[in-house]
Structure 1
Amino acid sequence: MMDIGSWAQKHPHKIACSMADGSQKLTFQQLNEQVGKGAQFFEDEGLAPGDHVGLLLDNQLAYFSVCFAAERAGLYYTPINIRLSCDDIAFIIQHSEIKILVTEQRFVQQWPELFIKLQQHMAIFYVDGVGTDNWFQTIQGHHVKDTATGSLGQDMIYSSGTTGTPKAIKWPLVELPSNGRTMLVDLLSGLFGYDDNTNYLSTAPLYHAAPLRHSMTVMKVGGCVYVMEKFDALESLKAIETLSITHSQWVPAMFVRLLKLPLSTRTQFDLSSHQMAVHAAAPCPIDIKQMMMDWWGPIIHEYYAGTENNGFCAITPTQWMSHRGSVGRSKHGVIHICDDEGSPLPIGQIGHVYFSGGQPFAYHKDPERTAKTQNELGWTTIGDIGKIDEEGYLYLQDRVDFLINSGGVKIYPQKIEDAIVTQENVMDVAVFGWPDDDFGEVVTAIIQPLEAVEDEKRFADDIKRELSSKLGKFEIPKHIGFLEQLPRHPTGKLYKKKLREDLLASVQKINFW
């Protein structure tokens, strides 16, 4: 069985999803009723297959009832990052042509002018409050649409805008397979063993593709999803123990925060139920992953993919131990490493990561951006730099947008960040190029300390001294500065471009050492 309705019939009282703190719970029967009524409501409102529904919500179970309802009704659904600027949110809503928006009332107070404009063009419903615009009260009077008919709806998720305007891909809708198994369900359940015995901990915002897709997949195969309202290192360990979590998903920044907890705190929890921890979204420093392996054992699996679906790599713990730093071999598409002109490079050389043989993609209403992802051979790239070894394992180095060109030398910030983040009293770090009259750019590191630093110059000097044995002289930061909080997205993405622009424009004041 691969759908909510079937599980509602077989195990109606089994918990399908719950907030990790227990504040909200839905059985399969309750979830299926909300999904069926929501799907019927969309149809009764005149939405046709291929139309668009938007969600502007913080983590809560309403995500699943709305997304599954849109899927059953053959609609596209777009969860919107609530931490984007008002302009970016407005862009996504207009760009995707959303007809119904499901949100929270607090956002009306946060962006009143935006909602005044939106109300003129679409229906808006709220998951909180009372009245005719309450989502749950609105769908209550509708019949339950039992199954999808015709095309199956799907997500259309926009990028977080870390390197530019948010972009998305509108994949063609497909007919629901007769056996109910979609390619995504087969891929994720096959790789990570999701089934009806799975207790899955979702640690990240559901407006991000991975947490939403994995959570929905787990429920489709009959497992239970536990959602954290927001990530907290200590609370996540408590959840694994108290909820008997079997599977979980993380980003490397979460691993760092877990490892920064006192050893006495980390070791007080019984994590024996934990069978698999999956991570993705950003490269993981080798030392950080090794420390997590030493702590949790060989249960940490990694994958590399983009919403573009042009390629998919995965690596098991055993494979990683003999290919440290790799994100795995391709499970979908053929990997090619190319130079700046898009021509293939020999094995072992660093270049642009391209894939061939994957599903062709196009950014929605953005042919110019789409064209930049392709070379003359028709291979596609999503902007990563890396290399492959003789066995076909891929090693990511950085993003093209983040490369530093210092005196003609290409420097990869990710390598420097990996070396700094393992240092004592470092919680997070961003490395980028800073304008320099002699070299064009010089390496600059902005550090978020774990605890307040009294003598910044001394701390900066200590870090540079520690790095001298790990990095080349040209890679050691010329400047080091400190900020109380770096602009890191909860999904692990770091807004380095905006941070650099703010510092250059003196929006944020900082001392360099």
Structure 2
Amino acid sequence: MSWTVMPTFEEYDRARADFAWDLPEAFNPAVDFLRKHEDTSRVALRYERPERGDVETYTFDDLDDRSDRIAAALSDLGVEAGDRVGVVVPQKPENPITHLANWKLGAISVPLTVLFGRDALQYRLEDSGANALVVDPSVRETIDEIRGDCPDLEHVIELGDGEAVDGADDAGTHAFDDLLASHEPGIDVHDATPETPTAIMYTSGSTGPPKGVLHSHALWLGRAAAAYNYFDQGLVPGEATLWTPADWAWGAALGGTLFAAWHHGCSIVGWPRDGFDPEDVFDLLERHGVTHSFMPPTALRMLTSVDDPEREYDLDLQTFASAGEPLTAEVVDWVDDTFADVAINDFYGQTELNLVVGNSEAWFDTRPGSMGNPFPGYEVRVLDPDTRDPVPTGEVGELAVQPADRRVFFDEYWGLPEKTAAKRTDEGWFLTGDLVERDADGYLWFVSRTDDVILTSGYRVGPMEVEEAILHHPLAEQAGVVGVPDETRGEAIHAFVQPATDEYDPETLREEIRDLVRDRLAEYEYPREISFVDELPTTTTGKIRRRSLRERETDAAE
């Protein structure tokens, strides 16, 4: 199989039968994304600066040159194969350039979002043992606060030149632009294979601290194959242009959109911005001729506020792909009613298990609310959570997935061998922790989660992280956090807080808790609803019974 262009299958059944993973013996994603294309002078990245409104273009050759230079700089700083390098940069060129530089050295990337606060960043940097970090100026102050608590972190590289970067002359602090200018291209690329470690991505931490998920380079081939499917086989080299509002730290945005575009020889648009204004988004889609967009359901719901966008904007859209929470019928109907010829495809994956199930209108009709069918290269089963036996069609069970090539799934939970082993059955089926049912036509339908993770605005939020942040407030004695239905976000975060005293002002305390969580974790992780209770339900071992809190919230709503 050629990994430059995926094979096109007109029929789903034939794709399932004929597709085979045929991973190359030697594989470095930096070479695959940048050097294999017939015309490397084509534009790979269009970067629009929101503060200036101008557009910078980068060809595949430009990205190759710049990632060579940063790889040489990292090497001079002592970064070696196997070392971990964190990347806390939004949709700016320096984000993928750093990842590419890491892989040219054989280093392991740790993608992190600028939305993270102090605690979230510190935990992940400590746990991964990152010895170098590339950061956006917006998070530099936070990094300075936690740097002393990250003993492995030797070098912080801030975007900008020496005049803009405070302390750039100090040992261990560097200006990205200065490193770029002071090094030459031509580095010898690390001799890598699909099994070479590529990235540590962190889970949401639904039932404990977030887990580092170690992937190998085969991850990017798995994501590129999935993107080719959920973008309806439309990723034509030199023709398709992709954009997503999602942060490039997230798996579906980084691997399933950005690097999938470059694997297939297509262009990507980078547009770091605060907030999501639907009219500004349609302007962007028009300006850049975006043909394919990964758009979380929350973003799609916000786009519905714009009247008749096909009349107001000259759009080249062909496909919306969506993930993070089930698509409602209203969103699917809106796309069908609003656009003459635009597909809407929902898909499903996990940090650990790639993007494995989805809809593709090129093969079958999208059923609103359905996860779709398994993509070629994967088998799925619905198992009894207790016995691990398959359940009959129409009955609820835990979704289990088996890849035809083990390497496209994660390698291990970083430093957690027991949890790694528990993710997989003796028969080689990987457990998702998600309860689903399968209908008579093979479509999978999400029912609930076996853990307590909250899906809000497309983000997976672990309640324990939010609870721990709340407990930093001196007036919070206990806290329990659950997700509750929300028309716009899918779920909203509801915190039940047991105050440490009877003397408090409820509204003041609510705002203080919200601000605290925003600061310590991320903007999307703060509780929109906060209830104060005399006592929280707990298990015999003292754990918060979140199921009881959800039932209490449901009873109150009724």
Specify the TM-score bucket, using the shorter chain as the normaliser: 0.7 to 0.9
The one of 157, 165, 168 equivalent to 1:125 is 157
What amino acid sits opposite 1:25 in the alignment? E
What amino acid sits opposite 1:167 in the alignment? K
Alignment of 1:98-117 (within 5 A): 98-110=130-142, 112-117=144-149
Cα gap change, 1:367 to 1:286, in 2 (>3 Å): farther
Structure 2 Cα separation of the partners of residues 137 and 37 of structure 1: 11
1:206 matched to 2:235: no
- Residue 133 of structure 2 aligns to a residue in which SS? strand
Q: TM-score, normalised by structure 1?
A: 0.73
1:60 matched to 2:92: yes
Q: Conserved in 2, the CA contact under 8 Å of 1:78 and 1:155? A: yes
The one of 327, 330, 342 equivalent to 2:371 is 327
Structure 2 Cα separation of the partners of residues 495 and 320 of structure 1: 36
Structure 2 Cα separation of the partners of residues 188 and 147 of structure 1: 30
Q: Conserved in 1, the CA contact under 8 Å of 2:335 and 2:343? A: no
Correspondence for 2:397 = 351
What is the alpha-carbon root mean square deviation over aligned residues?
Answer: 3.9
1:338 matched to 2:369: no
Deviations 1:284-340, CA, capped at 9 Å, x for gaps:
222222222322344112221112126611211366646442222112332111223
Per the TM alignment, residue 136 of structure 1 is displaced from its structure 2 partner at its CA by: 2.1
What amino acid sits opposite 1:337 in the alignment? V
Correspondence for 1:18 = 47
1:166 matched to 2:210: yes
The one of 190, 200, 205 equivalent to 1:149 is 190
Q: Conserved in 1, the CA contact under 8 Å of 2:366 and 2:372? A: no
Per the TM alignment, residue 374 of structure 1 is displaced from its structure 2 partner at its CA by: 3.8
- Residue 151 of structure 1 aligns to a residue in which SS? coil
Structure 2 Cα separation of the partners of residues 186 and 501 of structure 1: 42
Per the TM alignment, residue 99 of structure 1 is displaced from its structure 2 partner at its CA by: 1.5
What amino acid sits opposite 1:203 in the alignment? P
Correspondence for 2:505 = none
Per the TM alignment, residue 430 of structure 1 is displaced from its structure 2 partner at its CA by: 3.0
Q: TM-score, normalised by structure 2?
A: 0.68
What amino acid sits opposite 1:157 in the alignment? M
Deviations 1:57-98, CA, capped at 9 Å, x for gaps:
233221011111112222211111233342221121121121
What amino acid sits opposite 1:142 in the alignment? H
Cα gap change, 1:246 to 1:311, in 2 (>3 Å): closer
Correspondence for 2:460 = none
What amino acid sits opposite 2:351 in the alignment? T
Structure 2 Cα separation of the partners of residues 431 and 500 of structure 1: 7
Alignment of 1:415-434 (within 5 A): 417=485, 421=487, 429-430=491-492
Q: Conserved in 1, the CA contact under 8 Å of 2:401 and 2:432? A: no
What amino acid sits opposite 2:58 in the alignment? T
Correspondence for 2:178 = 137
1:314 matched to 2:343: no
Q: Conserved in 1, the CA contact under 8 Å of 2:370 and 2:445? A: yes
Deviations 1:251-290, CA, capped at 9 Å, x for gaps:
111111111x2526x4553354111111112222222222
- Residue 214 of structure 2 aligns to a residue in which SS? coil
- Residue 213 of structure 2 aligns to a residue in which SS? coil
Structure 2 Cα separation of the partners of residues 56 and 46 of structure 1: 20
Per the TM alignment, residue 504 of structure 1 is displaced from its structure 2 partner at its CA by: 5.5
What amino acid sits opposite 2:261 in the alignment? V
Correspondence for 2:509 = none
Correspondence for 2:313 = 270
Cα gap change, 1:183 to 1:301, in 2 (>3 Å): same
- Residue 365 of structure 1 aligns to a residue in which SS? coil
- Residue 66 of structure 1 aligns to a residue in which SS? helix
Correspondence for 1:90 = 122
Q: Conserved in 1, the CA contact under 8 Å of 2:436 and 2:446? A: yes
Q: Which deviates more, 69-78 or 266-275? A: 266-275
The one of 49, 52, 58 equivalent to 1:27 is 58
Deviations 1:391-439, CA, capped at 9 Å, x for gaps:
32211122223499xxxxxxxx99x93xx62xxxx6765387989xxxx
Correspondence for 1:478 = none
What amino acid sits opposite 1:12 in the alignment? S
Q: Which deviates more, 202-211 or 138-147? A: 138-147
Q: Which deviates more, 32-41 or 369-378? A: 369-378
Cα gap change, 1:376 to 1:33, in 2 (>3 Å): closer
Structure 2 Cα separation of the partners of residues 505 and 61 of structure 1: 50
Correspondence for 1:440 = none
Per the TM alignment, residue 501 of structure 1 is displaced from its structure 2 partner at its CA by: 7.9
Deviations 1:333-385, CA, capped at 9 Å, x for gaps:
32111223033211111121112346364311123433443446442222211
Correspondence for 1:455 = none
Correspondence for 1:453 = none
Structure 1 Cα separation of the partners of residues 453 and 271 of structure 2: 34
Q: Conserved in 2, the CA contact under 8 Å of 1:334 and 1:357? A: yes
What amino acid sits opposite 1:155 in the alignment? A
Structure 2 Cα separation of the partners of residues 198 and 337 of structure 1: 36
The one of 224, 227, 231 equivalent to 1:188 is 227
Correspondence for 2:429 = 379
Correspondence for 1:3 = 33
User: Alignment length, in residue pairs?
Assistant: 435
Q: Which deviates more, 72-81 or 356-365? A: 356-365
- Residue 436 of structure 2 aligns to a residue in which SS? strand
1:249 matched to 2:294: yes
Q: Conserved in 2, the CA contact under 8 Å of 1:19 and 1:61? A: no
Uncovered stretches (5+) of structure 1, i.e. residues with no partner: 405-412, 436-482
Q: Conserved in 1, the CA contact under 8 Å of 2:161 and 2:177? A: no
- Residue 140 of structure 2 aligns to a residue in which SS? helix
Per the TM alignment, residue 122 of structure 1 is displaced from its structure 2 partner at its CA by: 1.3
Q: Which has the higher contact order (CA 8 A, sep 6+)?
A: 2
